[in-house]
């Protein structure tokens, strides 16, 4: 089998869609080496270099031309005699020749429809048009959660029979045990507190960091935050400054994937009170790290967290505070839930997901 991928996000997105793209190709190449995997894009980058070292993974430059991703990439895949073309981020090329090829698209979320206030009018219209068009062109659609499947049916009016849920995993660093030496180096490099709670993700309204900061105000619980800053950061920083919490809240930058994996493992509690997610990869990363999770009781987050994570109302920082304090004061309960969470998260391991993907591909041929 020969599978071609739209590799724009594979090469050019550091997190999110980039991690999904790289992990998907990596696990397929590892567990199904007899197939050929073609990465189509106008250029490549250092991201994913190790995956391209596999003899069954190849980069092919998209044909030159204006809007080549929309008008050339699909035809390039057909010229390569690919059996399947997989758009990894909600889009498919618009132009195809008559040569047979099955078309698959992964849709991660429809947050731009559910929460339009987070997007400009122009971005909302472009996203909606691209996603609708992709669902029309595709032979089959992958949704990364049951929540996303429901949203595709509701907002894009796609028949349920056209959609299959295949969860995503996370980077292999979270499943590895880093050395004690590297762990100590990471602790020293970032001057980490002995005990702390952790939040990871873009610092934006939807991720709701401010309510974690409000929840720990007046406590001696340190918070470590890792994520790209947006305008919303100023709102959080203003609250921290006003309440003299600068020594309690630590913002880290320049964190590598292996350092991030260590920090997850060192954290006592991972707190993720997002208002809405398509899946919630940080929750999976925490569970693989054997760190107990507190997360929201809405969207897909209970799917990602399982029954032994602790759930909160993200609108209510008093609820967040009481759950944090309960786990902070109870080491045995933290360990019990972390161990159970680690058992649960095995459903998102690489081999399981690779098998589900390959079964999906084989069914549509």
User: What pLDDT score does 13 carry?
Assistant: 87
Ranges under pLDDT 70 in the chain: none
Where do we find the tokens 């190849």? 58
Q: According to the model, what pLDDT value does residue 115 have?
A: 87
C-alpha 131/C-alpha 110 separation (Å) is 9
pLDDT at 235: 97
Cβ proximity of 24 and 88 under 8 Å: yes
**pLDDT of amino acid 16:** 82
Q: Is 81 left (phi over 0), alpha (psi -120 to 50) or beta?
A: left
Please return the burial class of 55, using the count of CB atoms within 10 Å of its CB with bins 0-12, 13-18 and 19+.
Answer: exposed
3-state secondary structure of 110: coil
Whether this model's pTM surpasses 0.85:
yes
End-to-end CA distance of the chain: 10
Residue 24 pLDDT: 96
Q: Which residues contact 60 (CB under 8 A, 6 or more apart)?
A: 38, 39, 40, 76, 80
The pLDDT of residue 291: 98
Averaged pLDDT of the chain: 95
Domains annotated for the chain, with CATH where assigned, are 2-169+349-364 (3.40.50.2000), 172-347 (3.40.50.2000)
pLDDT on residue 265: 98
């Amino acid at each position: 089998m020969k599978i071609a991928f739209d590799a724009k996000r594979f090469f050019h997105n550091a997190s999110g869609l980039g991690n999904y793209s790289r992990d998907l190709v990596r696990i397929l190449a590892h567990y199904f080496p007899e197939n050929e995997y073609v990465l189509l894009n106008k250029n490549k980058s250092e991201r994913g270099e190790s995956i391209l070292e596999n003899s069954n993974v190849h980069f092919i430059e998209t044909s030159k031309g204006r809007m080549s991703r929309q008008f050339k990439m699909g035809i390039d895949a057909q010229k390569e005699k690919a059996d399947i073309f997989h758009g990894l981020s909600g889009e498919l090329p618009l132009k195809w020749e008559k040569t047979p090829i099955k078309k698959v698209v992964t849709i991660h979320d429809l947050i731009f429809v559910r929460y339009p206030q987070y997007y400009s009018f122009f971005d909302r219209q472009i996203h909606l048009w691209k996603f609708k068009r992709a669902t029309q062109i595709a032979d089959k659609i992958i949704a990364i959660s049951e929540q996303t499947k429901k949203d595709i049916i509701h907002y894009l009016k796609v028949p349920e029979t056209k959609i299959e849920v295949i969860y995503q995993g996370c980077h292999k660093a979270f499943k590895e045990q880093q050395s004690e030496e590297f762990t100590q180096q990471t602790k020293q490099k970032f001057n980490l507190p002995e005990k702390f709670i952790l939040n990871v993700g873009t610092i934006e309204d939807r991720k709701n960091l401010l309510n974690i900061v409000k929840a720990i105000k007046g406590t001696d619980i340190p918070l470590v935050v890792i994520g790209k800053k947006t305008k919303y950061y100023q709102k959080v920083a203003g609250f921290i400054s006003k309440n003299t919490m600068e020594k309690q809240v630590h913002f880290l930058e320049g964190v590598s994937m292996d350092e991030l994996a260590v920090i997850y493992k060192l954290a006592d509690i991972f707190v993720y009170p997002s208002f809405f997610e398509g899946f919630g990869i940080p929750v999976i990363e925490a569970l693989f790290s054997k760190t107990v999770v507190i997360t929201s009781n809405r969207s897909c987050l209970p799917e990602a967290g399982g029954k032994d994570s602790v759930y909160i109302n993200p609108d209510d920082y008093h609820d967040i505070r009481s759950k944090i304090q309960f786990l902070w004061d109870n080491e045995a309960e933290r360990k019990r839930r972390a161990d159970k969470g680690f058992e649960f998260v095995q459903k998102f391991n690489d081999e399981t997901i690779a098998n589900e993907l390959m079964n999906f591909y084989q069914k549509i041929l």
